[in-house]
Amino acid sequence: MTIKFHCPHCKTGLVVKANLAGRRGQCPKCKQPVTIPASGAPPADVEGSAAAALRERPAPAAKAPPEKADRPVKAPASGQGESKAPESAPPPAAPSRIDFRCPQCDEPVQAEVALAGKQMPCPHCTRIIRVPLLEKRPPTDWRALAAQAAAAQAAAASAAAGAAAAPTAPRPAAAAEPEEDDAEIEELEVWLRRRRRRFVAAGVAAAALLAWLGWLGWDWWTLRRQEWALTEALAIAEKFANPGDQGVALPVGAPVREALAGVYKAAGECYLGQERAPEAKQRLSQARAQFASETQDPSGAGEAFLIQLALSQVELGGDEADVRKERRIPWSAVRDELRQTLQLIRTPEARQTAIREISRRLIEKGHAELAIALARRPGSTAEAPDALAIVGLELLRAGRRDQAEAVAAEAKKLFLSPLLVTMESEPAEPAAPPEGEAPEAVPQPASPVIGFQRAPLPASLVALLAVLNQADQQIAPNGNPQDQLAWTIGTVEGLARQGKWDEARKLAQSVSTSVPDQIRLFLAIATVALDQNPGDARDLREALRLAEGVRAWPARASWSLLQLVQLSARAGLTNEVENVVRSIPDASLRGWAQLELLRLRLAGTHGTAPETWAEAVDPQSPAHALAFEALARHNAAYGSRSALKAALGWQPDEIKALGLAGVAQGMRSAN
């Protein structure tokens, strides 16, 4: 059932449920407080209510409002009404407390009337809330009072005798209990606030869900494009690797061999990023297989590539949980892969660099024993002391002195053990002819002689023993110029690692030797200085100053000059090192040095780079094709679609394949 009535203030028709009869609420139009009447039932005592209302607030003499004016009320006749009107009811006592609900925790709260409109802490949730004001009585509707008074006069004329004794009608329950109505309104407001909060939370959750779904869609689309680019690159590489299967004859020279190795290495790194360890291991092994030729050793750039390949193979190792899920491979398998890769690096300087970089990475991953095991079998017995000493220096750098001392003792023992070598003796003198016969000039073959010889003195062992304060005259040079130079380089590095910079520089400047060897001395100091302070380029500048005066370098200086370029790039001396790059005698290493500078330039560039940067790398070097791979990787991280479109147009095919592989890597890093 419903109750229909009109607002006494704005005369708006209202309809409410019957169970709200007698309660107080707010008009939805004029916002004034109204009392919901009973459903069709007349008041309990109309006469008494009208008489009491007239006695409380007599009707003013002012004229009624213009709209819907009622008939004015006539004054009662003399002798009627005045003596028989009931006494007015006493006004209700003013409330001393305000009852309301906390808008934060919805718990009932009581406050003193003096705090009305002020702030106070909630006794339940301790949050600061505002105490509501006391509701003021609404203005009296004089028209209603006049109508009630007329009806009361008519009833009083017929019952004048009992009118005086009639009890005063009580105030309506709704007016007598405003606190209850206010509580209902507060409950409604709390419910509305909670509902708004739920809507807001649902909107935030829906937005987060849409963002997550969008990210998943973008990730799926990027992965599909990455897989497509990588598949195309491997398809081109297979044409070069198996030309007979394609019905064409493709030239496979040294630059193409490095390019194919670059494609397989990029594919292995992509699979490794996707945690597909078996496929990553297979592709990295294919990259190494491009250099496993019995007739041709890797070029200088090829050995530099193999060093980076070995560092990628280190990332294949993982713990047992990752191995079970095929995200990584066991460390024993990583050791075998690294050993096969190191065997292809034959230049002593390149092998020393490889041992240093690999052992540093393994020690950082907590597998120092694996680095020591690799150093014990570097490829030949003569190189074992040097390899072990390099690992010992890296252990000292990581703060593992106990292990470094054990490795130093083992390296020293191996060095002092003479090596069994095979040497050729002098040709034997021809036998004397019989008397009277002419001697025959028949050459006598040289007979092999087996003897013992000490291994070359490694500078790393001298430096390690100096840092550990275990210098021993047993390893002192024995007059061999190469051993004397190694002793000096090791002593200089040991002084630098001990922090005796002035002594190390003074010794390096006092040695009378060739410029390439002087550069090696200052490089030993600069390597330690950059490890301890990346901004210390004093010794690098001295090495660059020495290199400026040399016009023709011997071939053996190529790796020292490449190391000078790499250290200068780390220190930010790219402009000062350009002349050194052009003077590297080995063409392949010269191109690799240009590739190192290109990678450094790309790392400092935000946005796509032009193709002319890659074209500047020596086209005769194997690093030329690898430069396009680096360019494509960088550009794909800033715009995969344009980078993919550009790579598809590159020629020849080996550069195109490397470009597609670089795009796949760039999308993986950007994702």
List, as one string, the DSSP characters of 386-418: HHHHHHHHHHHHTT-HHHHHHHHHHHHHHHHSP
The answer to whether the pTM exceeds 0.75 is: no
Tens of pLDDT, residues 178-190 = 555 566 677 777 8
pLDDT of 624 > 90? The answer is yes
pLDDT of 175 > 70? The answer is no
Q: What is the pLDDT of residue 192?
A: 83
Q: What is the pLDDT of residue 114?
A: 81
Q: What is the spatial distance between Cα 654 and Cα 251, in angstroms, rounded to a whole number?
A: 11
pLDDT of 599 > 50? The answer is yes
Q: Strands 419-424 and 448-453, how do they pair?
A: antiparallel
Judged by average pLDDT, the poorest of 10-14, 275-279, 608-612, 647-651 is 10-14
Q: Strands 24-26 and 419-424, how do they pair?
A: unpaired
CB hemisphere CA count around 315 (13 angstroms): 16
Residue 546 and residue 516 in contact, taking contact as beta carbons nearer than 8 Å: no
Q: What is the pLDDT of residue 437?
A: 53
Judged by average pLDDT, the poorest of 105-114, 368-377, 457-466 is 105-114
Q: What is the pLDDT of residue 495?
A: 95
- In the predicted model, what is the mean pLDDT of residues 581-591? 93
Q: What is the spatial distance between Cα 32 and Cα 14, in angstroms, rounded to a whole number?
A: 13
Report residue 168's pLDDT band, with 50, 70 and 90 as the boundaries.
very low
Residue 182 and residue 100 in contact, taking contact as beta carbons nearer than 8 Å: yes
Would you tell me how many other CB atoms lie within 10 Å of the CB of residue 510?
Answer: 8
Q: What is the spatial distance between Cα 594 and Cα 350, in angstroms, rounded to a whole number?
A: 18
Q: Return mean pLDDT, the chain.
A: 80
Identify each DSSP E strand in 264-373 by its residue range.
none
Q: What is the spatial distance between Cα 572 and Cα 366, in angstroms, rounded to a whole number?
A: 31
Q: What is the spatial distance between Cα 476 and Cα 457, in angstroms, rounded to a whole number?
A: 8
Tens of pLDDT, residues 459-502 = 999 999 999 999 878 888 877 888 899 999 999 999 999 999 99
Contacts of residue 32, defined as CB under 8 A and 6 or more positions apart, other chains included, come to 7, 9, 10, 26, 138
Report residue 529's pLDDT band, with 50, 70 and 90 as the boundaries.
very high
pLDDT of 265 > 90? The answer is yes
Report residue 75's pLDDT band, with 50, 70 and 90 as the boundaries.
very low
Kindly state the percentage of the chain with pLDDT values over 90.
Answer: 41
Would you tell me how many other CB atoms lie within 10 Å of the CB of residue 664?
Answer: 31
3-state class of 314 per DSSP? helix
pLDDT of 396 > 90? The answer is yes
Report residue 20's pLDDT band, with 50, 70 and 90 as the boundaries.
confident
Contacts of residue 659, defined as CB under 8 A and 6 or more positions apart, other chains included, come to 233, 628, 629, 631, 632, 646, 647, 648, 650
List Cα–Cα distances, 200 to 192, 197, 212, 443, in angstroms.
Answer: 12, 5, 18, 103
Q: What is the pLDDT of residue 172?
A: 46
Q: What is the spatial distance between Cα 593 and Cα 603, in angstroms, rounded to a whole number?
A: 16
DSSP for 413-444? HHHHSPEEEEEEPPPPPPPPPPTTSPPP--PP
